[in-house]
Amino acid sequence: MNIFFTWRRALLGLAAAGVMGQCAAFSFGAEEAVIIAPPALDETTQAHDEIAVFAGGCFWGVQGVFQHVKGVKRAVSGYAGGEADTARYERVGEGDTGHAESVEVTFDPTRVSYGTLLQIYFSVAHNPTELNRQGPDTGPQYRSAIFPQSNEQQQVAQAYIAQLDAAGSFKKPIVTRLESYNGFFPAEEEHQDFLTEHPTYPYIVINDLPKVAQLKRLYPDRYQEQPVLVKAGP
């Protein structure tokens, strides 16, 4: 288990106990969002319900970003890429389960397209050029990965990565992997809605609240002030 996972897990216990303080003065800080073009290729569907699964580092921040996107109905923190029997926070933190901390996003494609979610994912939710890490967290469980739910999602994501790389949108090549989907396993209740429930938690203040602010700044027409919360019900 890497030191950053251990550090974050210890702070989680303090948060649950109501002890916040200055215990997370050690930090890396959030990176600036990158302004990128929308995908040239996007889905065409009249469906009102669709699912996308994204991995981009700690699921607290990724969930928090997508919960503030108009057209998103639900965003759940969890695990994808491994087997059901290892889909537990402490076990995934060991880095050898195949799982990545992920977020399952249920959205209405007539209000927000899959391509738009990809644009937000790449530009705001995480840094797609970091290999097997994200900010202070290191290991394959924090990798940048997309788990397409259909051939069309696969094609759109693949084309968008090629488009962004060809345009030199980032200073380094995108390392985001498109992985086969073999199920999503929701994380423990304590991890759901974490950003909203613990806005003064040092890890959130330093690494994740800036992402929500960047979403509001770069995509004001896509931003909704009131997040869609897991614990509020379906």
Pairing of strands 144-146, 177-178: parallel
The rounded average pLDDT for each run of 10 residues, N- to C-terminus, in the chain (234 residues) is: 48 46 39 91 94 98 98 98 98 98 98 98 98 95 98 98 98 97 98 98 96 97 98 76
Token pair, residue 184, equals 């999503």
What's the confidence (pLDDT) of residue 26? 36
What's the confidence (pLDDT) of residue 234? 62
Give tens-digit pLDDT for 12-54.
554 444 433 322 333 455 667 899 999 999 999 989 999 999 9
> Which residue has 């391509």 as its token pair?
115
One-character DSSP codes across 21-82:
TTTT-----PPPP---PPPSS------S-EEEEEEES-HHHHHHHHTTBTTEEEEEEEEESS
Round to whole Å and give the CA distance between 89 and 19.
Answer: 21
What's the confidence (pLDDT) of residue 53? 99
What's the confidence (pLDDT) of residue 31? 65
What's the confidence (pLDDT) of residue 9? 56
Fold of 49-224: Peptide Methionine Sulfoxide Reductase; Chain A (3.30.1060)
What's the confidence (pLDDT) of residue 20? 36
- What are the residue numbers of the active site? 58
